[in-house]
Amino acid sequence: MLLLGVLAAQAEGAASVAGAAYFGGPATTVDKLLFADDTLSTLGTGLSENRDQSAAYSNTGVAGYFAGGGIGVSNANKYTFPSETRSTLTGVLSIGRVGLAGFANYGTAGYAGGGYDGTRRTTVDKLAFPGDTSSTLASGLSSARSSPGGMADKDVAGYIGGGNTPANTTTVDKWAFTADTRTTLGTGLSNAKNNLAGMSNNAVAGYLGGGNNAGTFYDTVDKFAFPSDTRSTLGTGLSAVRFALSAAAKTNVAGYFAGGLTTGSAAVSTVDKFAFPSETRTTLGAGISSARSSLSGMANEG
């Protein structure tokens, strides 16, 4: 009976950390990180083309998406869960562009905001789930910018912070679900920067980490508490300054920042893990499959 009780407890614990994070680009590689044990592998089927700072988001339990990531690239790769089979959706973005931010309201829609196609954009495109129908929000970003970071609080709001305007900005814009109305937070990032990454612990807080401002690189992770949107900065940031990184999270378990460029613009494979709710940071012994930057992250929370 004791053994059966132990096995049942182990099974329950494993179920609580189902799902995985996916880090894709800028080439075709997509790495998968299992939340259950932090092991990393590489999908047999990668992206259909090189994607540089695509907008990554997911309809958790159903499918994950990498949208855009190149000038003139308006399609998206869709990975159906749990098989991870890939298909390509056309016309997902109204403007094919690079340097986007993504966020999602699970079960409802994914969003791709900002970016660059020769011109910095305010555009926010929306992909409605489960039919994968595309539209463009009436209210885009408050300023045209490339390479911001994105995050969301499920069922409540999505956020896009920072970016290059061409001056870097501290601005964080917020879109309330379900009306998609935009406001701008009174308190933005602690530093003006671009090439940062965002992830969320739903119903608790969102995090925007790393970034670059005119050659100054950051290890800073800013935290925005939900629903107040008050900002604090974590006492322990990334394990090294870096930008052009990616992020993904499992609610109530942990958030991860992967890859990027560090001092001397050297690409890294590092994956930093922030455990929830303590926000203590560890660095995984094995990183993503190759040192690279300008990748994007999304999660299937299971």
Residues 6+ apart with CB under 8 A from 108: 128, 129, 177, 178
- Per-residue pLDDT band at 17 (split at 50, 70, 90): confident
Which amino acid, 176?
A
CB 47 within 8 Å of CB 94 = no
- Map tokens 């196609």 to a residue: 117
Closest CA to 300 of 16, 79, 105, 21: 21
**What is the tens place of the pLDDT at every residue in 183-227?**
999 999 999 999 999 999 999 999 999 999 999 999 999 999 999
Domains and CATH numbers, the chain: 2-300 (2.120.10.80)
pLDDT for 3: 38
Listed in sequence order, the DSSP H helices in the chain are 2-16
Nearest to 264 by CA among 194, 213, 215: 215
pLDDT at 120: 98
Q: pLDDT tens-digit profile of 61-96? A: 999 999 999 999 999 999 999 999 999 999 999 999
pLDDT value, residue 16: 61
Structure tokens at 295: 């990748």
Average pLDDT score over residue span 142-160? 98
In a 10 Å sphere around its CB, with 0-12 CB exposed, 13-18 middle and 19+ buried, how is residue 163 labelled?
A: buried
